[in-house]
Structure 1
């Protein structure tokens, strides 16, 4: 019994390392932004906690499922061959069970929020799990990944209000473009491998120069949508300053790498994107708290 418990804990630790659960910070602040906008301030702590549980559990399930679905592909790619499943550190059975447990936690948390979140939970699961197979089908799999994270703000809005407002979809669109853009850049590392093995991606289809141009366009459009969001919710100068900082961070991110130099990809992909999401959330949250009467009037029609 002690050996079984020890093996289970060890496998769980390796699984959490494999899926980089700490990178939930990418999308979580955007989900919290949706919740703050929906509440016109800080949501109830119970609701906020359940939103966090939903976000982390669904993202955990999606990443574990992705590693499971990509095990064979990862085994033949030098960059990913050392991941836990192809390296033999984890069995597919354990990762499959871990995925199902994470999904069960997600559905339970969604059901505890309200009826609509429970009804929509299968759709959320379908979106986030489908990404794992998109690279086999289309070069635009990056957009599906963007959608998987982009639904977070809208889902959080539904969690708080039990209904959907079209304006929050603007934030979902911004997150979609943000994630798709940096995923296009990240995929540049596998450019040669994808071409050799017939896997679809934007870099594989358009080359590295084309991929960088498209990623920059996506991030420029993202900034435009964020400005539109602030206008729709009648936010103030703090929100605009936050967007300005996000724009500068994105510019710096793109300056770290180029089609001929991808060495600093991890710094651009992981560190800066985490900072971007936190900065944006903090700016919007502070602005909403300071200008609550204006925000309340902007969303009062939904109350």
Structure 2
């Protein structure tokens, strides 16, 4: 059980709160109501397989840096609670789950898996050469609503592109803020980020700007799908959450940049999905 717990911790299973609600949002929008159990099951398994392989890959690729970073000292790979070979096996199993699940959905899903795998597995390397690494992560999560919609319809309408764009900018900009606390470590190890490129203060301004654009994308998606005022209640809560989150952090004080701060961002995905669901079913 301790080994299982360590693997769950390694892939940060609780971080599913960021992408899974948006995958379900795409799924329910595509079904225009309650999707079939078949689609719900295989989309869920595809998401589990995709994010598990991506998070495990990220931790494995960054292990040599995590061992030197005090903030990462309790990660299972760093402490030795799990071994690299075990992580490799988990990645292979997770990818098999992802690929098989994709094969059970609309035919185009399996054809698109190479694109998905590129962003899922290549993201950990991007911080080696570009300050846009945060938005590579954003693209990886943005595939959630697109995948949920395509799984049912085999199509990618403009409304889903807007929704996916909102997810990309929302999570990518949050990663800009969260990663800014590691600026000096990144500079010392020749890693790239918005903070190393532009400084922490400017990185936070960029994040705030793109969070604003992400909200416009969520509003645009609501307009495209002709959602009612109920949906926009969720968007309003998301706006207030983002404003509150930005108010807690300054470029000179990271004391509130905790796991609680990190997880609170999940409110955005949860409320937008919940109010979309209420809207669709009302």
Give the one of 35, 47, 54 matched to 2:39.
47
Helix, strand or coil for the counterpart of 1:139? coil
Structure 1 residues 76-115: aligned runs within 5 Å: 76-115=68-107
State the match for 1:237 in structure 2. 229
Check the 8 A contact 2:159/2:220 in 1, yes or no.
no
Check the 8 A contact 2:60/2:87 in 1, yes or no.
yes
C-alpha distance in 1, partners of 2:5/2:106? 32
Does residue 209 of structure 1 match 2:197?
Answer: no
Check the 8 A contact 1:107/1:118 in 2, yes or no.
yes
Structure 1 residues 222-233: aligned runs within 5 Å: 222-233=214-225
Q: Deviations over 1:19-76 (max 9, x none)?
A: 2112111111111111111111111122011111111211011000111101111111
Check the 8 A contact 2:28/2:35 in 1, yes or no.
yes
State the match for 1:153 in structure 2. 145
Q: Deviations over 1:75-123 (max 9, x none)?
A: 1112113322232222111110111101101111111112111111222
Check the 8 A contact 1:138/1:201 in 2, yes or no.
yes
CA RMSD of aligned residues (A): 1.3
Structure 1 residues 19-168: aligned runs within 5 Å: 19-168=11-160
Give TM-score, length-normalised by structure 1.
0.90
C-alpha distance in 1, partners of 2:80/2:257? 27
C-alpha distance in 2, partners of 1:41/1:135? 40
Check the 8 A contact 1:256/1:268 in 2, yes or no.
no
Check the 8 A contact 2:76/2:82 in 1, yes or no.
yes
Shift of 1:195: 1.1
C-alpha distance in 1, partners of 2:183/2:63? 19
State the match for 1:252 in structure 2. 244
Unaligned runs of at least 5 residues, structure 2: none
Check the 8 A contact 1:186/1:269 in 2, yes or no.
no
Change in Cα spacing, 1:268 to 1:211, as seen in structure 2 (3 Å) is farther
C-alpha distance in 2, partners of 1:270/1:212? 15
- The structure number with the bigger radius of gyration is 1
C-alpha distance in 2, partners of 1:217/1:249? 15
Check the 8 A contact 2:126/2:136 in 1, yes or no.
yes
Shift of 1:267: 4.9
C-alpha distance in 2, partners of 1:251/1:206? 22
C-alpha distance in 1, partners of 2:194/2:208? 13
State the match for 1:180 in structure 2. 172
Shift of 1:11: 2.9
Helix, strand or coil for the counterpart of 1:167? helix
C-alpha distance in 1, partners of 2:2/2:36? 36
